[in-house]
Amino acid sequence: MKSKQFLLDSGNINGYYWKIVVNIRENGSFLNKGNITLYGEKEKEYQKEYHKRNREQRITAMKIWREENSDHINKYYKKHNKSDEAKEARRKYRKTKKGIENHRKDTAKRKKNFGFIALNKPFSNSDAHHIDKQHVVYIPHDLHNSISHCVETGKNMEGINQLAMMYIGKQPK
């Protein structure tokens, strides 16, 4: 049976942190009556060591939790990613040094295995379309965007390549 954990209160007294946590099942009954945790520097070190020692067990538990709560996670991310705060946070991150570096890595990762052997000449309002990882044909932008496709996964490549070849075949040489 699924349960949710609720943090009722937390605070800081003389360098010691405390929190009160209650676990409640879906039917409303208590999984446990709650616990009060008091921890300071020694306890923090113990928790760090505990997490290191039990890493595999924690990974397994989190994997199970994600599988059981995948609907909740998906709804949260769909809602959160469209929020203005999330968009603004992404804009700010992209301007940071780390954000710029990660964008470059992602772009390089995507393009590292691609060649660029052009089979025809570019023209205005054209996009370079990879028919495979090495060869490129220039086709109109609207035609290129008419079918969502991905050369790496092969998604819809047959369809877009047929349209591209039909377009190239109609062009005068």
* pLDDT value of residue 8: 63
DSSP string, 103-142: HHHHHHHHHTT---EESS---TTEEEEESSSSEEEEEEHH
- Quote the CA–CA distance of 40 and 12 in Å, as a whole number: 10
Question: Domain for residue 75, yes or no?
Answer: no
* pLDDT value of residue 39: 59
SS3 148: coil
Which structure tokens are listed for 55? 């890493």
Question: Domain for residue 95, yes or no?
Answer: no
Q: How confident is the model at residue 50 (pLDDT cuts 50, 70, 90)?
A: confident
Question: Domain for residue 77, yes or no?
Answer: no
Q: Are 31 and 23 in contact (CB under 8 A)?
A: yes
* pLDDT value of residue 51: 85
Q: How confident is the model at residue 16 (pLDDT cuts 50, 70, 90)?
A: low
Which structure tokens are listed for 34? 């709650």
Indicate the number of domains in the chain: 2
Q: How confident is the model at residue 15 (pLDDT cuts 50, 70, 90)?
A: low
pLDDT digits over 118-161, tens only? 899 888 999 989 999 889 999 999 999 999 999 888 999 999 99
Question: Domain for residue 63, yes or no?
Answer: yes
- Quote the CA–CA distance of 137 and 165 in Å, as a whole number: 9
Question: Domain for residue 26, yes or no?
Answer: yes
SS3 30: strand
* pLDDT value of residue 163: 94
* pLDDT value of residue 41: 63
Question: Domain for residue 94, yes or no?
Answer: no
Return the ∠ at Cα 145 (arms to 142 and 151), rounded to 5°.
Answer: 140
**C-alpha dihedral sign at 125, 156, 75, 69:** negative
Question: Domain for residue 147, yes or no?
Answer: yes
- Quote the CA–CA distance of 148 and 57 in Å, as a whole number: 40
Question: Domain for residue 102, yes or no?
Answer: no
- Quote the CA–CA distance of 17 and 37 in Å, as a whole number: 8
Given a cut of 60, whether residue 1 has pLDDT beyond it is: no
Q: Which residues of 26-39 are buried (b: 16+ CB within 10 A; e: fewer)?
A: eeeeeeeeeeeeee
Phi-psi category of 34—alpha, beta or left, where left has phi over 0 and alpha has psi -120 to 50? left
Q: Which domain holds residue 24?
A: 3-68
Least confident of 24-28, 112-116, 118-122: 24-28
pLDDT digits over 53-111, tens only? 889 998 998 999 899 989 988 888 888 888 888 889 889 998 999 888 888 878 776 66
